[in-house]
Amino acid sequence: MGRLVIDADSHVYESEATWDYLPEPYQARRPIPLTLPAGQAPYLGRMNGFWLIDGRVVNWTWGRGTVQIGTPLTTTHAIEKPISVGSQALTDVPARLRDLDQAGIDIQVLYPSLFLVRLSEDDAFEAALTQSYNSFMAAQCGQAPDRLKWAAVLPLSDVPTAVAEVERAKQLGAVSLVTFGTAGERMLHAPAFDPVWRAAQDADLPVCVHVGWSLPSLNQVCDEHASSLNLSFALPILMGFFSFTGGGILERFPKLRVAFLEAGAGWLPWFVERSDHYYPVVNWFRGSFGLPHLPSQKPSSYLDRVWMTCEADERLLPQAIEVLGEDKLMVSEDMPHLEGREGSVGELEERTDISDAVKHKIITDNPIRFYGLEVGVPTAV
């Protein structure tokens, strides 16, 4: 391809090794993978496994609250993937690097999978799980730091710990911080979270809002795969986008930058237009109560610090580029979630409605700037 290829959003499937860094008081509560014999529960299909956490299973595959995560790695789903279990879990770093070579990827930024849902109602334990994950990722990516980058999970259920984790993540070598569209039933622009965003700004770590099942009340509306993936999984990212642009986070923290991952970019023109449309209406009401505008400018005014990943085949990508700008889009391979899809970078390269110069920005230049990467010549395996 003749260019440095940066995959701005791929994943790790958590394994038992992920919890090796739990503090001693929590070791007795390590998540446990449970696997049913293939075919014993036909309605589960290939997803014949769960995580048992504090006596509850995570990974509902049918019924209200349906989610599908892809881990534990003892399931038929994981074992039959073309990518090895060690690569999926990042317990075998050389195997992941070989997969990168095969896919034509030079640098990959890694995000979690299991944390797409809340794992425990115990805020301190939830925070400890995220800290163990972050320590694991630092150790594994540290084996190939020129090629493997990682995002630290923010334990927003415990704000003081989240603030401390921002600085620890910076010291461990994280290139971003990841959260989801809401913090449970609270929106991200709630004043309680401002210390976290301030810490991220001070550490010069960008915040990434990833799709995920973060809003419990919405999860319970969806009772099968289609509604789960299209609604409870995807819609919270719109709430996160509002929080940063319309809820005032980016105004309060003028050096903070944010990206919205794995929801495509085609929704951006519509949602920004609607947000700007309602801006004077909302502030008319606020003014009638004697309240200041929130924020002081239209949501579209804050797009200079917004990035997104796009889907390589989305029809409205040119419109998204027009609204957001060609310097703010990145591409995601979404490894190892490759079911039913081809490589995104190759698909983007084949498009004829986007110039080669813009493709180069999406594949190389934009993620370098967003993540603040110091890039050299990656080491092949």
Q: Catalogue all structural domains in the chain, each as residue range(s) with its CATH number.
A: 6-12+93-371 (3.20.20.140)
Measure Cα distances from 331 to 143, 186, 290, 328 in Å: 24, 29, 44, 10
- For 75, half-sphere exposure in the C-beta direction (CA atoms, 13 angstrom radius) is 26
Q: pLDDT tens per residue, the chain (381 residues)? A: 478 999 999 999 999 999 999 999 999 999 999 999 988 888 788 888 999 999 999 877 788 999 988 899 999 989 999 999 999 999 999 999 999 999 999 999 999 999 999 999 999 999 999 999 999 999 999 999 999 999 999 999 999 999 999 999 999 999 999 999 999 999 999 999 999 999 999 999 999 999 999 999 999 999 998 999 999 999 999 999 999 999 999 999 999 999 999 999 999 999 999 999 999 999 999 999 998 888 999 999 999 999 999 999 999 999 999 999 999 999 999 999 865 556 889 899 999 999 999 999 999 999 999 999 988 644 444
Q: CB-based burial of residue 340 (10 Å sphere; 0-12 exposed, 13-18 middle, 19+ buried)?
A: exposed
Q: CB-based burial of residue 28 (10 Å sphere; 0-12 exposed, 13-18 middle, 19+ buried)?
A: exposed
Q: State the Cα–Cα distance between residues 8 and 107, nearest whole angstrom.
A: 8
50 in Cβ contact with 72 (< 8 Å): yes
Residues linked to residue 50 through DSSP beta bridges, in sequence order:
34
Dihedral sign (CA 193, 195, 196, 201): positive
Q: State the Cα–Cα distance between residues 21 and 17, nearest whole angstrom.
A: 8
The radius of gyration computed from the CA coordinates of the chain, to the nearest angstrom, equals: 20
Residues linked to residue 306 through DSSP beta bridges, in sequence order:
258
This prediction's pTM: 0.95
Copy the structure tokens of residue 287: 């003014």
Beta strands in the chain (DSSP E): 6-11, 32-35, 49-53, 56-58, 107-111, 148-153, 176-180, 182-183, 186-187, 207-210, 258-261, 306-310, 329-331
- The contacts of residue 236 (CB under 8 Å, 6+ apart) are 180, 181, 182, 211, 212, 213, 214, 215, 218
22 in Cβ contact with 129 (< 8 Å): yes
Give the residue from 234, 235, 254, 248 showing the smallest Cα distance to 299.
248
Measure Cα distances from 271 to 267, 268, 325 in Å: 6, 5, 16
